[in-house]
Amino acid sequence: MPMEEPVAEPRDEIVIKTLGGSEGFVATNDLQEAGKIVDTTDNRIMMAEGDTVFCEMENLAEVRPGDAFNLIEIGKEVRHPVTDQVLGRQFATLGSLIILSTDQHVATAKITSSFREIRRGTLLLPFEPPKMEVALKRSQTPLSGYVVAAKEGKIGLGQNDLIYIDLGEQDGLEPGNLLYLTRTRKPSELVVEKTDLKLPDVLLGSAVVLDTGQQTASALVIKTVGAIYLGDNVQTVIE
């Protein structure tokens, strides 16, 4: 009787708590698909939870009752700290709404939550529930890029801060990939004559990718040994 081959035991999955999502930065191409609030049922300036509003939608024919959207306010441009290319815009989440009905011109909706004042002109993006955890996944590709933005416009970044990087799906990056955060080390002023000397990078910490767009991604800093700044390097961990 032939011996049965041993069955490999499944490896335990490592899950990282994300502390509540990845809002704070939106790529320019995503904004082209946004709807917006254009009016409400009365002349009030500010709107809040429970109010009925009317929305213009870029893809109105595809909108259905029950669809949910986040309400966002657009902030400053995000420019690449090295190339100066415009990557997108900062944003703040003001609340959310759900579609009640549509006609040939607008969608009627009800505001289901409000964290700050909501006005006419507030933009809509498809609702995404906060991601509370992500499973670590080994990267298959060695990638390198830069920290290009941070949630709430922070400058000096540390553990549990949310960062945005210039790598995304088109590069092969996936949620759960682990990143090293590094900074190029400059030779000291007393270096002996050799002007093209390349020294090992300074290791600043590590982060885990939460969400990916086509060209950008959000990541949670999970460990630091020094302050992190825009323009610092990121590298996928493939070991």
- Domains of the chain: residue spans and CATH: 25-126 (2.40.10), 133-236 (2.40.10.340)
Q: For 75-103, how does the pLDDT look when each residue is reduced to its tens digit (9 = 90+)?
A: 888 889 999 998 888 888 899 999 999 99
Check pLDDT > 50 for residue 41.
Answer: yes
pLDDT bucket at 107, cuts 50 / 70 / 90: very high
Tell me whether residue 2 is exposed, middle or buried, using C-beta atoms within 10 angstroms of its C-beta: 0 to 12, 13 to 18, 19 or more.
exposed
Q: What is the pLDDT of residue 214?
A: 84
Residue whose C-alpha is closest to residue 204's, from 166, 152, 147, 164:
147
DSSP letter (8 states) at residue 238: -
pTM of structure: 0.75
Check pLDDT > 80 for residue 46.
Answer: yes
Q: Is 62 left (phi over 0), alpha (psi -120 to 50) or beta?
A: alpha
Q: What is the pLDDT of residue 24?
A: 62
Give the chain's mean pLDDT.
84
The tokens for 232 are 């610092």
Q: What is the pLDDT of residue 182?
A: 93
Q: For 139-155, how does the pLDDT look when each residue is reduced to its tens digit (9 = 90+)?
A: 888 999 999 988 766 77
Question: Any bridge partners for residue 113, and if so which?
Answer: 96
Q: Please state, in angstroms and rounded to a whole number, the distance separating the CA atoms of residues 209 and 143.
A: 13
The tokens for 14 are 């490592």
Q: What is the pLDDT of residue 71?
A: 92
Q: Please state, in angstroms and rounded to a whole number, the distance separating the CA atoms of residues 224 and 100.
A: 46
Q: What is the pLDDT of residue 76?
A: 83
pLDDT bucket at 5, cuts 50 / 70 / 90: very low
Half-sphere exposure of 209 (CA within 13 A, CB side): 27
- Is the Cβ–Cβ distance between 236 and 139 less than 8 Å? yes
- What CA–CA distances, in Å, run from 59 to 14, 34, 43, 195? 39, 9, 27, 57
pLDDT bucket at 3, cuts 50 / 70 / 90: very low
- What CA–CA distances, in Å, run from 113 to 22, 44, 71, 118? 18, 18, 9, 10
Mean pLDDT of 45-71: 94
Q: What is the pLDDT of residue 8?
A: 39
Q: What is the pLDDT of residue 191?
A: 60
Q: Which of 184-188, 212-216, 219-223 has the lowest mean pLDDT?
A: 184-188
Q: Which residues contact 148 (CB under 8 A, 6 or more apart)?
A: 78, 80, 81, 87, 164, 165, 166, 216, 230
Residue whose C-alpha is closest to residue 124's, from 73, 60, 51:
73
The tokens for 130 are 């906060």
CB neighbours (10 Å) of residue 83? 11
Higher pLDDT, residue 114 or 4: 114
Check pLDDT > 90 for residue 232.
Answer: yes
pLDDT bucket at 195, cuts 50 / 70 / 90: low
